[in-house]
Each structure stands twice: as structure tokens, then as C-alpha cells.
Amino acid sequence: MRHLCKYRFLQIIRNRFTLFWTLIFPIILMTFFSLVLSSAYEFQPYETLTIAMVDNDAYQQNVTLKDTLNQVENNGIKLFDVKETTKQNAQEMLVNKEVSAFVEVDDTIHVNINSSGMDETIIQTFFDTYLQQSDFITTLLEKGANPSEVNALFTETKSYIESEHEENSDFSSVSFYTCLAMSAINGAYLMLKAMYESQANQSGKAARVCIAPTHKLKTLLSNMFVTMLTQLVILLIQVFYLQMVLNVSFGDSLVPVLVLLSCAALAGNGIGVVVGSNFPKFRMDNKVSIVSGVSVFLSFLSGMMSLPIKWLVAQYAPFVALINPCNMITDGLYALYYFGIGERYYINLISLLIFSLLCFMIGYFSLRKKQYQWLEAR
């Protein structure tokens, strides 16, 4: 057993191809993520919107609107920077994107815009509210309210709301988790190679191994143990790189991260066992293509190329999310980061264990009691 483990380990570390896929490639990908996503997913703090007001009599006479436009604020930042100008100028400013909208007041308020977006909605909400409040004041005065109290409605300071910003809500962190998940699934390459070298109908080396008086389960277990341990070390190096070099947070404690990654390494090897022990007519290259394609596809479904896809899959195809090991790893890490240790983390952990167990069972039943009448020389 000790010898089996030792030589499997030596084979792994001498194989540049598998080491590249499991160790180097994810690190390169993480670096790409860090270069691009850090600025792309950064939330821009609120900035004052510039609007142009058409300088006509109706606007000049509406003192309440002028005052409100100049006073209204959000968290101490002025909501609008108002440019008073002629209609023609205002139109030009809108075309040249110098202002988000130009507004003309007559018997009602006309807001001219160039697109539908959040800025336009904020502007619309402000002017809608202004008009609704004006109507509301008429209703109040009809009911006999005191005009001085009514005026205070526009500058009401009573606080109804307490704003709270979520901590640990860095969107880009999940992208790094998908990378780590892909790396764990790429552990399948290690196991694929081990399977290739332990089935007599796959390679000459395997034919020699198979006639040795060693139980197949023993070979499988030693392969599994070494590849899993190697994969775990690789994942730890990547976690270290993410945390120390790229400053990616994993929540409060690293211990549950390590537990999850151990299960992830097991699941990655499980995929290698399934692909390696089946498809006997496929060449090693074809099997590598299968693992490579499956790993990219599973990573895509867990949000690697576009994060909202992870959420969409969980919402509209929960079964797919439930059986996708990449999603289990990503979601487990995300749950730890965003919610801390809890039910969701454990569900992902157990799902990974069940997935791995199924894979190893498939592998074991495909390999047991296999006999060959003749073998092609390879």
C-alpha cells in the first residue's frame, strides 16, 4: 500500500500536464479574474445627477420647485445639479450627454430623456412625487389643514428609515469561488491518469499492473488517497494565493473552507473515476476532452462566465444546481462568506459527499471482476 501510494505520488508530480491543469491553470484564471473583475463589479457610490431646466416664466414663478430641486439630498449628497438654460441649449446638452435629462415646466412637467435607466427613473420619481405632493396638498387644504404645516411636507425631516449596508457583499468573490470549484473538478485529471494506468485494456503499463497479485480495491483506494491528498494541497495553495495575494475573503474562519475543499477534492476525483472507468473505446485524449468540456460547462452553470446565471439556474432549474458539483462547491463557499456556517453550508457539504460516493460506486462496479480474453498491444 505504501509503495502504491509512493509511486502514484511520484507519477503525479512528474506529470507536467496534470499539474498544469490542476495547479497553474486555475491560478492564471484567478489572476485574470482579479485584473478584470475588481473594477468591473465595483459599485459606484451615488453621484449627483446633472439636469437642465428650461428657463421659462412657468419655471421662474414656481419657487417651490426651484427650492426643492436645489435642496433635495440623498445621504448628504445633492440629488441634482441644475443648469438653467434655453430649450435649444438644453436639447443640445442632452444630445451631447452633458445632462441626464432636460425638463420643461408649463401646465405640467415634461421630462426629456435619451434612454431608460436607473438615473432616468430617479429623475422621473422625483418629478412624479413633486406633482403627486402638489395634488396631495390640494386634498389636504380641502380637508382644512393648516397651510404652514402643509408646506413642511416638502422639507419633512422625520426619520422613518434606518439604512444598513450589507457586509461581505463583494459580488466578484463568487467568481473566484467558481474558479476554485473548477480547480477542484479538474482534480479529475489526476484520477483519470491513475485510472488509465490501472485498467489493462487502456495501457500497456496497466496490463502489467493488473497481473500483479494486488486487490483492485487496494489499488483504487491508494490511488484515491494520494490523488485526493495532492488535490487538497493544490487547492490549499490556491486558497492561500487568493487570500494573501488577491485579497479574496472567505468569511470568518478557514477551517470550514478546508472541510468543504476536502469534499470538493473527493468529488473531483469521483468524476475522474467515472470517466476513467467507463468509455473503454475512448482514447485518453477523448477522455481528457470530456473532463475538460464537462468542467467548463459545470463552471458556466455555477456562474463563472456570468454570475447571475448561477442564481437563474438555482431559481428555474434547481435540480441542475443540486446535482452540479461545481455549484455545490461555489455555493458552499458563498454561503460561508455571506451567511456564515449554517444549514446551507452543510447541505452543500453533504451533497458533495453523496455525489462523490455515487461516483466511486459507479467506478467500483465498472472495475470489479473485470477479465479480458485478449488484449491489444498498446
Site for another protein in 315-334 (CB under 8 A): 315, 334
Cβ distance to another protein smaller for residue 30 or 359: 30
List the interface residues with another protein, window 259-318 (CB under 8 A).
282, 285-286, 288-290, 292-294, 296-297, 300, 305-312, 315
The alpha carbon dihedral of 312, 315, 318, 323 has a sign of positive
Residue corresponding to grid cell 509511486 = 7
CB of 202 to another protein, least distance (A): 13
Instruction: State yes or no: residue 37 binds another protein (CB under 8 A).
Output: yes
Site string for another protein, 342-371 (x = CB under 8 A): --x---------------------------
Burial 189-202 (b: 16+ CB within 10 A, else e): bbbbbbbbbbbbeb
CB atoms under 10 Å from CB of 12, counted, come to 22
Q: How far apart are CA 35 and CA 246, in angstroms?
A: 9
Element containing residue 85 per DSSP (H, E): strand 80-85
List the interface residues with another protein, window 204-263 (CB under 8 A).
none
Instruction: State yes or no: residue 167 binds another protein (CB under 8 A).
Output: yes
Query: Grid coordinates in use for 345?
Result: 453550508
Stretch that binds another protein, among 106-114, 204-212, 224-232, 240-248 (CB under 8 A): 106-114
Size of the site for another protein (CB under 8 A): 100
Instruction: State yes or no: residue 126 binds another protein (CB under 8 A).
Output: yes
Instruction: State yes or no: residue 89 binds another protein (CB under 8 A).
Output: no
User: Looking at 16, 96, 213, 371, which residue binds another protein (CB under 8 A)?
Assistant: 16
User: Looking at 13, 61, 64, 128, which residue binds another protein (CB under 8 A)?
Assistant: 128
Angle 7-13-17 from CA coordinates, rounded to 5°: 120
Phi, psi torsion values for 280, nearest 5 degrees: -60, -25
Q: How far apart are CA 361 and CA 42, in angstroms?
A: 45
Beta bridge partners of 73: 78
User: Looking at 151, 208, 245, 339, which residue binds another protein (CB under 8 A)?
Assistant: 339
Instruction: State yes or no: residue 91 binds another protein (CB under 8 A).
Output: yes
Instruction: State yes or no: residue 120 binds another protein (CB under 8 A).
Output: yes
